Structures are given as C-alpha cells and as structure tokens.
Amino acid sequence: MEENRIRLDGGFHNDIFHLEEEGRVVRISDKKKTKEMILQEIEWMNFLHEHGVAMSKPEMTIGYEDGRVKTYFEFIKGDEMDVTNELHWNVKTFELWGRVLGRMHELSKQYRVEEISRPVWTVENPDVFDIGGGLLPWVKEEYDRLMQILCTYKITPDTFGLIHNDFHQGNLIISNEGTLNTIDFDECSYNWYAQDIAVSFYHAYWQHHSYNGNTDSFTHIFMNHFFAGYQSENVLHEDMIEQIPIFLKLREIFLYQLFMRKWHMNNLEGWQIYTLKELEEKIKNQIPYAGITDFSIYV
C-alpha cells in the first residue's frame, strides 16, 4: 500500500487517493469491476487521449488491493467546476463542454475492439445496469415504460456507441490553462449517446438551480451553447434529441434508487428528505425535467 495517500472523492463505489509525491492518482475499484473491464476502460481512455481529448491519462499497469483492482492515473492540476464561479460557469465553458462530448462521441464511431468487456445496452437486456431489480413497484412501472420506448429506436453508429456514461460537471476539471479535462471513466459502457447529453444537462441544471436560481434563462443559455459546441464535433441526430427527455427521467430514477440504497434512511437530513420527496413527485407524475419536452428548440 502506498504511503502518504490523500483520499479524494470516489463517489459511492470507489476509493480514490492522490499520491502527491508521485503526481498520480490511485483508484481502488468496486469489487464488481473485473480486470478485463478495467483494461478496456484504460484502452478506451488512451484512444481518446491519443486523439486529442484532454483527460487524466491512465497507466496500463494495474494491481490489486483487498481483492479489488487498483489502477493509476495522471493527477490533473486544476479546479473542480464551481457553478457559483463566473470564471467557470459561463457560455465559453458550456460550449467547450459540448465540444468535448461531441469529440468523444465522434471518436466512439471509430473505436474498435475484438471483444467487448464493458456493459452493453441491448433490446434483449435494456436493464444492463441492474437498476430495475430493486425498484419499488410504482417506480419499476415507470422505468419499464421508459425502457420500452427506448427499445423502439434503431441502434445505429450515429446514435449508439461507447460512452462516458457519467458525464457531468463533477467529472470535469478546469486546468490552469483553461482546458476542460474529463475524469472518471469508471462507468463507461455501450449505450445511447443521448445518455451523456442528458446527464450533462441534468446535473448542470440541478446545481445551477440549487446555487444560482434563475433557471429559465439558464436552460436556454446552457443548451444553446452546449449544442453548438457538440455540433462542431459531431452530428446531433434527431433520435438523440428525442431521447434526451427519456434519459432525464431515467436519471431521476437512477438517483432515487442510488440514494435509497446509500443513504441512512432512518437518519436523513432535511435536504435529503426534500430531495427524495421531489424525485418521487416528478417520477410518479411523469413531470418533464426542467419542464422541457422538446430539446429541438435549442438546436
């Protein structure tokens, strides 16, 4: 075990530490992640890095700690995105954010593997991430309805490929030079491109609403510039635009399930109670996220 490890935020699944003297980050992955899955994640990241996507570059060397796969990454010097900081939270960043994602999706069309070791969404197995298994019956009903709608779309290289799968501002680091670096490819999988777009907007809107208010103007500003950046690197297919509201609702279900599993339900804080009740209301009543049913108005 490395000495002088400084714990970083690993989310709900991983343990992540900064090896300050080495200029590296070490990630101890969830026990469900196999060596083969991790190696394909690293290969994918290296492919993106070689084609100009700024990120925390991984090392091919992996190890084990307590039976869990241990992976090393370059430490990126910079700042976590701050939604209250106008130097971070502005139209230039929103456009760059979209451009980075568009570039990744365009590169996904070129990426080839001999054998897939990452999760794959399919019509035969749409619940590939095992979200539906533990859902309350009324939530499961809505989840199944959304999955049935997704299953009506045709999978094509223009709409489906290997994606980041958790592409929100918490996984973006702004370097001192103004570069937007992507981190945490731990959940990368073969899924609809619209998932990455929806997650970006979901968390941007959620945090902006929590800290800054003024969400009506924010939605227009964010999506107009995000889409402009995205389309500078990749074609925004009409099916992707149609799917965004579906994935926003699926994100609500995913977060509701995650919070129910991970939070101490007998000792909730006030904001946690509010969050769960709000998610329940939106899911139960099929309320469109941010009140938007058609994202084509921002293209």
The pLDDT of residue 276 is above 60: yes
What pLDDT is attached to residue 1?
Answer: 52
Query: Rounded distance, CA 249 to CA 275, Å?
Result: 15
Bigger pLDDT: 213 vs 1? 213
Query: Rounded distance, CA 203 to CA 181, Å?
Result: 17
Query: Rounded distance, CA 257 to CA 10, Å?
Result: 19
The pLDDT of residue 4 is above 90: no
What count of Cα atoms within 13 Å lies in the side-chain half-sphere of residue 260?
A: 15
Using an 8 Å Cβ cutoff, are 226 and 94 in contact? Answer: yes
Distance of CA 96 to the CA centre of its chain: 16
Query: For the whole model, what pTM was predicted?
Result: 0.95
| Domains of the chain: residue spans and CATH | 5-74 (3.30.200.20), 78-298 (3.90.1200.10)
Q: 65-115, pLDDT tens digit by residue? A: 999 999 999 999 899 999 999 999 999 999 999 999 999 999 999 999 999
What count of Cα atoms within 13 Å lies in the side-chain half-sphere of residue 242?
A: 10
Q: What is the mean pLDDT of residues 256-270?
A: 93
